[in-house]
Chain A
Amino acid sequence: MTDTAERALGQATPLVSSPRARRRSELTRRDVVVSTVLTGAATLPTIALAFLAYEMLRSAWPAIVFNGTSFFTTKTFTLGNLYATSVETHHGYQAAAGAHYGVLPFVFGTVVSSFIALVVAVPVSVAGALLLADKVPARLQGTLGIFLEVLAGIPSVVFGLWGVYTFGPLLSRTVFKWMAALHIPWLSGPTGAGQGLLTSSLVLAVMIVPIIASTSRELFRSVPVLSKEGAVAMGMTPYEAVRVVTIPFVRTGIIAASILGLGRALGETIAVLIISGNALNLYPHSIFDPFSTMAASIAAILDGALTDSTHMAVHALGEVGLLLLVITLIANLGGRWLTRRFSTTGLPVGRGV
């Protein structure tokens, strides 16, 4: 029972241990002490989670009351006039004069950039992982796998640096120019220096590739060799074997890994902060325009929000953070639920593992 349950919840490798007998009468006093200490430690992640959720809710609460539903319908996010002598009051809470806190621009930026990142990253990761798992000879596995590990370990600020100085300008000189020349609506416009929605999405894609690719590689390796070889023996080309045998076997696992990659993209702060151009209240008119995401805007606006003497700006950012927390939670839980229901093998290794 324990084995399947544990596998269902997702372990990185198959488990070896079998059920441990519980004979309470044989636990010594030292055992009890040790196990109590360990229990305490084991509850700390749960306590940390509860602490985060509670604090976010508590900080967001004044803004939730002040904003009401306009949080989800207002198209602008403005801290108002912090130097005015009057304040606004709604439902008993004060905010700076002229303050409106609408989250739509940030949600739009977050969702669109993460979606594009996913659309680019998943095929690239799966195809690359497939190559690594099936076509690359064993002796090269380690060396080629290094690229994935290096990518996984690069700090997001370095991705930002690279996006601004190398990747962005390269893209704007080449790919973006060609795209703009095609004059497809929303896919053309002033390409600028390479900072904007598309560049950020592509950098996000590069950042989540390691998560998806490492997991996919493990999944591909776990496909029963007999099935693959049987297919080839029946006359299928390697590609057809992949299509018929491998993909159905790993499909759910890959979806789960993609959802974890999505979770990472949704929460990515620093790289987006650097490359996005931080367009407050602007919906990008083209894919090259600056934009803003929930995570990046919290980091960008928090210093300014702290100068609001009514403190409502900080609470409003808390509400944005709470929404981000909820969205990321749903994405991650969705992935785990899918795994529990369908997977027969391993799972997302997360960052860097």
Chain B
Amino acid sequence: MKRLILLALVGSVALAACGGSSNNASSTTSTTAGTTTTTSVTVTTGNPTAAVTLNEAGSSLLYPFLQELVTPLHTQYSNITLAPSPGGSGKGISDAISGVVQMGGSDAYLSPGQLSANPGLMNIPIAVSAQAVNYNLSGVSNLKLSGDVIAQIYEGKITKWNAQPIAALNQNVTLPDTTIVPVRRVDSSGDTFIFTSFLSATNTTWQSGPAFGTTVTWPAAPGELTANGNPGMVQTCKATPGCIAYVGVSAEASAQTAGLGEAMLENKAGQFVQPSSDTITAAAAAGSGNVPANLAQSLIYEDGAQSYPIVNFEYMVLKSSQSSSDTALAMRTFLAWAVDPAGGSSSTYLAKEDFVALPATVLPKVKAAIAQITG
């Protein structure tokens, strides 16, 4: 009897979903594993009847994580193939908008303009990631920096590593008289987005000047270099003594191997922290209290003594209305599986990229968004 009721409810939800209307929250226990919330959304998932390839393009920070998920996803759902590719968050967003890929990967949430110009466009977070600030100074480890100082470096106002503002933060360290070479991303980048969000939050001149975005007008800092993608940032910084670069955590392992130092950044509480699963989780928890329904939420410079200041949601940007019900089903299935700790959000996959799982408070809203994908 119970099974019949459940089947009937699932069936009606599925019908309602394909009818194109959105919210169908019902107070039943969720069909996805693991959640314990009482009011939750039923998301229809499952293996599609025909083979579906989900094309993804975008964030180079998210890309390694998606690459990891391809095989386990296919093993679990034999008719779903995930085909990720890098290219930068800007490309991810624009490709998703123009429809050349089904999902765009982005470290940046959609802008108000993009949301209003494209009804039905959604950003759905699947993980929490962070960004480190690396530098190439031999013999100097655990350098302390603040967002204000970094902004001045990228504005060209601080040009030497032993300049007063930096020395003031690092009293017990002898800093060399090397010229600072700032490196920035040239592709339209979510890493640029979160980095400039951090600079905007900590430096008023930056806020009123370049502000933040996947592409910004960088001030003319002398000697500034450009690079493509996170790996390109690591490579350029490795080849340039005195460089400073912003690198997503999924590329941190290669940054360490390359001999680059990882800066300790000053957070809102005045503590100097490096990105680790503890500091990232703390920031995510602090920032997830009041996430809007459209899930466009910044996690930059959050409160908390342990919070790391450059933390972000990793988003899949997609359209709620898909071309076929199989594609919609595949998409919902992939996303639901990706945020499931028993699926994509298991610590094995996340830890490899230094990501952390979505905070539990956000999950219901994420599921509600996933349920809106119809075809």
A touches B (Cβ under 8 A): yes
| B215 is an interface residue with CB less than 8 A from chain A | yes
A277 touches B226 (CB 8 A): yes
Majority secondary structure of chain B interface residues (helix, strand, loop or mixed): loop
Beta-carbon contact of A309 and B214 below 8 Å: no
Number of A-B contacts (CB under 8 A): 94
Contacts beyond the supplied A192-B225, A303-B90: 8 A-B pairs with Cβ under 8 Å: A76-B217, A81-B213, A281-B217, A304-B88, A304-B214, A307-B114, A307-B214, A310-B113
How many of chain B's residues have a CB under 8 angstroms from any CB in A? Answer: 35
Whether A84 is near chain B, meaning CB under 8 Å from some CB there, is yes
Tell me the smallest distance from the CB of B197 to a CB of chain A, in Å: 9
Query: Known: A83-B212, A304-B188, A306-B98. Contact between A290 and B225, CB under 8 A?
Result: yes
Closest residue of B by beta carbon distance from A85? B112
Contacts of B179 in A (CB 8 A): 190
A74 within 8 A of B: no
Return chain B residues, CB-CB under 8 Å to A303: 87-88, 90-91, 94, 187-188
Q: Hey, which bits of chain B sit against chain A, CB under 8 A?
A: 87-88, 90-91, 93-94, 97-98, 111-114, 116-118, 179, 186-188, 211-218, 220, 222-226, 239-240
Task: Tell me if A193 is interfacial: C-beta within 8 Å of chain B.
Answer: yes
Query: Smallest Cβ distance from A224 to chain B, in angstroms?
Result: 53
Give the one of A82, A290, A309, A310 with max B CB within 10 A: A82
Task: Verify A307–B188 contact, CB threshold 8 A.
Answer: yes
Chain B: minimal CB distance from A278 (Å): 5
> Whose C-beta in chain B lies nearest to the C-beta of A94?
B113
Most B C-beta atoms less than 10 A away, residue of A76, A83, A98, A305: A83
Closest CB in chain A relative to B244 CB, distance in Å: 15
Bound together, the chains give a CA A87 to CA B111 distance in angstroms of 13
Residues of A within 8 A of B224 (CB): 279, 282, 290
A265: Cβ under 8 A from any B Cβ: no
Chain A residue nearest to B113 in the complex (CB)? A309
Asked if A300 meets B186 with Cβ closer than 8 Å, knowing A83-B112, A84-B211, A279-B226, the reply is yes
Q: Which of A292-347 contact B (CB under 8 A)?
A: 300-301, 303-310
Could you say which residues of chain A place their CB within 8 Å of the CB of B90? 303-304, 306-307
Chain A hits for B239, CB < 8 A: 193
Interface contact A300-B117, CB-CB below 8 Å: no
A277 to B97, CA, bound (A): 29
Q: Does A78 contact B (CB under 8 A)?
A: yes
Docked pose: A309 CA to B93 CA in angstroms: 11
How far in angstroms is the closest Cβ of chain B from A180? 14
11 contacts between A and B (CB under 8 A): A83-B111, A83-B213, A98-B217, A193-B239, A279-B224, A290-B225, A301-B215, A303-B188, A304-B214, A304-B215, A309-B117
A280 at the interface (CB under 8 A from B): yes
User: When the two chains form their complex, are residues B217 and A79 in contact, meaning their CB atoms are under 8 A apart?
Assistant: yes
Bound form: Cα–Cα A279–B227 in Å: 11
B298 nearest CB across to chain A (Å): 10
Interchain nearest-CB distance for B276 vs A (Å): 29
Indicate with 1 or 0, residue by residue over A135-153, a CB within 8 angstroms of chain B CB atoms. 0000000000000000000
| Candidates B111, B220, B222; contact of A309 at CB < 8 Å | B111
Task: Tell me the nearest residue of chain B to A273, going by C-beta.
Answer: B186
CB-CB < 8 A to A278: which residues of B? 186, 226
Q: With both chains docked as a complex, state the minimum distance between the C-beta of A124 and any C-beta of chain B, in angstroms.
A: 30
Contact B218 A280 (CB under 8 A): yes
Known: A306-B90, A310-B113. A82 touches B213 (CB 8 A): yes
